[in-house]
Chain A
Amino acid sequence: MKIDVVPEKLGSPINYSVLLLIGAIVVIFHIVVNISEDSDALIYGFSMIIPATVSVFAFITARRYSGTLVYSRAYKMLGIAFLIMFSAELTYFVYEQILELEPYPSIADVFFFVFYPMLILYLIINIRFFAPQITKIGIITIVGTPLVITFVYLYLSLSDFGSFDFYYGIIFVAAASTTLGFSIHTARIFRGGLIGTAWLVLVIGIILDVVGDTWYYYIEINEGYTLENPVNLFWYSSYLLILYSLYKHKKSL
């Protein structure tokens, strides 16, 4: 007979099978789209379904916490962020496939950019409630992370200094890395707690997103992005990890 023992410490370990599954999904998907002849529909479909799923899941979670001052607002912001990402992907699709126009740069980029402030708002709502007084390490993390990453990007793309792509890339890389700075700070706050694991997964997800963005704008400067580019792997896995972190957070509380 199994004895129901009260655990000394509450735990919420990362399920590595889920991480493997996410890795397998994105790698298999990438292989499939690279060997099939007409893969555009698949790529666009996948690119829109994932943020839409995260958005729906975030709104469902916000509804679960309906009326609360912290979680309800925070999850609504996250839901809006991914709804904006979905709109960005949809606009990109309409530009390229229906209007047959060059989607970069386009109005889709406005949506791609607004995604970051909304994600930062989600993080700030949590930070303001759980750690209103920011420590020195917190300030260094929030300010230092975007500075380091943006300077790395600047260094990598110096060859294209002065061009439109160069400046355009800086804006997005800075926004993405600022989000990363905030998320690392938030994960540090919850480190050691039951919801700490969920925040760690979220940070890994955002790191992959930043890598994806930095790489994407570097590609745009040098060779030009194609739908089959492996950079997509980072975005897909990033969103799926954020979805997993949402699930873990919801399960913990």
Chain B
Amino acid sequence: MDNLLAPSLRKSIEVNLGKSTLNKIEQRLMERHGMGVAQAIKDFYKFDSVLREFFGAGADGLETKFLQNIIDLKQQKKVTDSWVTIKDQDLAKIFLESFADEDKKAIIGTVLDESLIIADILQNCKVPQTSGYRKINQLIDDGLLISNGYEIATDGKKIKKYETIFDNIKMDIEKNIVVVKIQLKKNSFQESTILQMIPN
């Protein structure tokens, strides 16, 4: 889940506090933890510690604000069965475009209930190999697919298995605004350090 949220959080810092602030935060993250914002957001406690170095207790408001721009926190507090409402339009667009693409939709459908290695995904969803690899990589980069375990090949090598981060998805277009609601897989929800930061 954090993979999916990272680019939007980065954008949110830039929009609210400016590029120079983002650069300073990135510089400090690199100095202290040897990672960039995108990586640190996935390891949110490290990101939080750096934000606190800059803003003290102001980091709390900052983090909540970032999340507010991306996820509907009011909805999030009410719902208990891991449904997340995405507010960020760039993020919502990723979902919409992925489901508008027949190949990507087929790939997602294949790994919705079970995790598979790339070769099996391509075989099951009958997508051409070249474009299939490209589209799977796009889905991994966008954070819709995550690695979940390994399969041991005949030569003893470990091959990554992939699955979707969500069980179910609902998409609405309300007055030209794309509203995406995703029901996260239980482990996606529990492993997300960002979602664990949401105040109760």
Chain A: residues with CB nearer than 8 A to chain B? 6, 9-10, 64-65, 67-72, 129-133, 188-196, 252-253
Contact assessment for A10 and B61 in the assembled complex, using a CB-CB cutoff below 8 Å = no
Complex Cα distance, B57 from A188, in Å, reads 8
Interchain CB contact (< 8 A) of A192 among B24, B32, B57, B61: B57
- For A72, the chain B residues whose CB sits under 8 A away are 18
Return the chain A residue nearest B12 by Cβ.
A69
Q: Which of B48-56, B96-104, B131-139 contacts A (4 or more CB under 8 A)?
A: B48-56
Give A194 to B31 CA distance when docked, in angstroms.
16
Rounded to whole Å, the gap between the CB of A6 and the closest CB of chain B is 5
| Cβ–Cβ contact B61 & A130, under 8 A | yes
Other than the given A9-B53, A71-B18, A192-B57, 10 more pairs (CB < 8 A) read: A65-B21, A68-B16, A69-B15, A70-B17, A130-B55, A190-B57, A192-B56, A194-B53, A252-B24, A253-B20
Q: With A69-B16, A70-B16, A129-B16 given, is the CB distance from A193 to B60 under 8 Å?
A: no
Question: Which residues B15-55 have CB closer than 8 A to chain A?
Answer: 15-18, 20-21, 24, 28, 31-32, 52-55
- Decide if A6 touches B32 in the complex (CB within 8 Å): yes
Q: Complex formed: what's the CA distance from A228 to B27 in Å?
A: 49
**Nearest Cβ on chain B to A198's Cβ, whole angstroms:** 11
- Interface core residue of B17, B20, B62 (most chain A CB under 10 Å): B17
User: CB distance A65 to B57 under 8 Å?
Assistant: no
Chain A residue numbers with a CB within 8 Å of B54 are 10, 193-195, 252-253
Beyond A131-B60, A132-B64, is A193–B20 a contact (Cβ under 8 Å)? no
Partner of A71, one of B17, B58, B65: B17
Least Cβ–Cβ distance between A104 and chain B, in angstroms: 40
In the complex, the answer to whether A132 meets B24 with C-beta atoms within 8 Å is no
Nearest chain A CB to B37 CB, angstrom units = 15
Chain A nearest Cβ from B97, distance in angstroms? 27
Pair A191/B56 contact, Cβ less than 8 Å = yes
When the two chains form their complex, are residues B17 and A191 in contact, meaning their CB atoms are under 8 A apart? no
Docked pose: A252 CA to B52 CA in angstroms: 13
**Residue from B20, B31, B65 in contact with A64 in the complex, judged by beta carbons closer than 8 Å:** B20
Q: Inside 8 A of B21's CB, which chain A residues have their CB?
A: 65, 71, 253
Query: Nearest 10 pairs between A and B by C-beta?
Result: A193-B56, A130-B58, A130-B61, A65-B18, A68-B18, A192-B56, A131-B61, A193-B55, A190-B56, A6-B31
In the docked arrangement, what's the CA distance between A22 and B10, Å? 39
Would A193 and B17 be within 8 Å (CB), given that A10-B28, A130-B58, A132-B64 are in contact? Answer: no
Contacts of B14 in A (CB 8 A): 68
How many Å lie between the Cα of A51 and that of B32 in the bound state? 39
Residues on B with beta carbons closer than 8 Å to the beta carbon of A67: 18
- In the bound complex, CA of A194 to CA of B21 (Å): 12
Q: With a CB–CB cut-off of 8 A, which chain A residues contact B58?
A: 130-131, 189-190, 193, 195
Q: With a CB–CB cut-off of 8 A, which chain A residues contact B53?
A: 9-10, 193-194
**How far is A2 from B61 in the complex, measured between Cα atoms in Å?**
39
Interface centre among B18, B21, B62 (most CB of A within 10 A): B18
* Least Cβ–Cβ distance between B152 and chain A, in angstroms: 41
Q: Are B52 and A193 in contact (CB-based, < 8 A)?
A: yes
- 11 residue pairs bridging A and B, Cβ less than 8 Å apart: A10-B28, A68-B16, A71-B21, A129-B61, A130-B55, A131-B61, A132-B64, A189-B57, A189-B58, A190-B56, A252-B54
Query: Residues of A contacting B28 with CB < 8 Å?
Result: 10
Interface string of B52-80 (1 = CB under 8 A from A): 11111111111011000000000000000
Across-interface contacts of A131 in B (CB, < 8 A): 57-58, 60-61
CA gap between A133 and B28 in the complex, in Å: 28
Chain B residues with CB under 8 A of A133? 61
A189 contacts B32, C-beta separation under 8 Å: no
A191 to B53, CA, bound (A): 10
Q: Return chain B residues, CB-CB under 8 Å to A189.
A: 56-58, 61
Q: Closest CB of chain A to B109's CB: distance in Å?
A: 39
